[in-house]
Amino acid sequence: MPSIRGTANKASSRLPLSQKESGKDSLLEVKDLIVDFRTADGSVRAVDGVNLQLKTGDTLGLVGESGCGKSQAVLAMLGLLDRNGQVWGSACYRGQELIGLKESALNRVRGAKITMIFQDPMTALNPHLKVGTQLLEVLRQHARLPGKAARQHAIDWLAAVQLPDPARLMQRYPHELSGGQRQRVMIAMSLLCEPEILIADEPTTALDVTVQAGILQLLRELRRRLRMALILITHDLGLVAGICERVMVLYAGRVVESGPTAAVFHQPQHPYTRGLLACMPRLNTPFEQRLPTIAGRPPVIGQRPAGCSFAPRCSYAFTRCEHESPQLVALDPVRAKACHLERLP
């Protein structure tokens, strides 16, 4: 695995291996994160009080339908919201508050310590610049590698993500590559500085199933070898089951259930989680059988019902659900849910 440890690069220096391997360090602590967007119709809330903790090597899946706030929550932590976005709460990376941090200081964290893989590499990569130019620009900004060493480091990473003929690939433009190759370039770019946290936002949605499996395997292997933490944002529960130890289910900007992935998926405690799992295709589902769906749609941002946001779609809703919003409460030391039902029938 290519490494820039031991170079003059201060921004990318990591903990000594002995310390890292001795236990899990706390990397990220998010408290009461709120994201509002100013619109012509007033302020609308996209993320409403999200809390999470991440330690070295953790894998966390954020799941939910489109518009549930999972992407906006991480974009807010990294100061990447659209201009009409406003953030409250706290997101501390190794004790450093990211919310409200100056752009120059934030740039030293994102792209080096915390990096992101986006859903569509074609829009994330610059179509006018060769792959090599884009990789070297990341190293120029975040690492102090001399020219030749930087080039070799970029080539090594293209090879590490299993791209053939990496030296030649440096000379090619993104449009000359397949979707799977572009996504591997994005992964290489996000790992150049050996981040401690990798955020992957729907990293395989635009790819066909075979390429998806290859990217998933690659992410799993790289995460294990680099001991980085991973936040996977997806609506694909199968992807989360394959790679994440913990999962948080979001609905209408709030966490409605969280816990170890195996426990949550085997015994969901929230009707929304159960509904999402029921919609997953399974190998033994007869070809002609229609997949179930969750009736209705998530509420439009800013138009949440007064009580539980899921109530209009919930077959277990009762009177209390219509006027009282459920809080996220611990079920045991590792699981939590936001639902008035004591247990799912």
Q: Would you tell me which residues interact with ligand SF4 (CB under 6 A)?
A: 271, 308, 310-311, 314, 316-317, 321, 326, 339-341
Q: Report the nearest approach of ligand SF4 to the CB of residue 119 (Å).
A: 28
Whether the CB-CB separation of 269 and 96 falls below 8 Å is answered with: no
Nearer to ligand SF4, 57 or 307 (CB): 307
Contacts for 62 with CB less than 8 Å, ≥ 6 apart: 70, 73, 74, 231, 232, 233, 234, 247, 248, 250
Give whichever of 179 and 312 is closer to ligand SF4, judged by the CB atom. Answer: 312
Shortest distance in whole angstroms from residue 66 CB to ligand SF4: 19
Measured from the CB of residue 310, what is the shortest distance to ligand SF4 in angstroms? 4
Q: How far is the CB of 321 from ligand SF4 (least distance, A)?
A: 3
Which CB sits closer to ligand SF4, 147 or 296? Answer: 296
Nearer to ligand SF4, 174 or 271 (CB): 271
In the complex, the smallest distance separating the C-beta of residue 271 from ligand SF4, rounded to whole angstroms, is: 5
3-state SS, the chain, equals CCCCCCCCCCCCCCCCHHHHHHCCCEEEEEEEEEEEEEECCEEEEEEEEEEEEEECCCEEEEECCCCCCHHHHHHHHCCCCCCCEEEEEEEEECCEECCCCCHHHHHHHECCCEEEECCCHHHHCCCCCCHHHHHHHHHHHHCCCCHHHHHHHHHHHHHHCCCCCHHHHCCCCHHHCCHHHHHHHHHHHHHCCCCCEEEEECCCCCCCHHHHHHHHHHHHHHHHHHCCEEEEEECCHHHHHHHCCEEEEEECCEEEEEEEHHHHHHCCCCHHHHHHHHCCCCCCCCCCCCCCCCCCCCCCCCCCCCCCCCHHHCCCCCHHHHHCCCCCEECCCCCEECCCCCCCC
Comparison of 180 and 326: residue with beta carbon closer to ligand SF4: 326
Name the residue nearer to ligand SF4 (CB basis): 265 or 310: 310
Enumerate the β-bridge partners of residue 110.
114
Closer Cβ to ligand SF4, 114 or 256, answer by number: 256
| Residue closer to ligand SF4 (CB basis): 96 or 327 | 327
AA letter at 138:
V
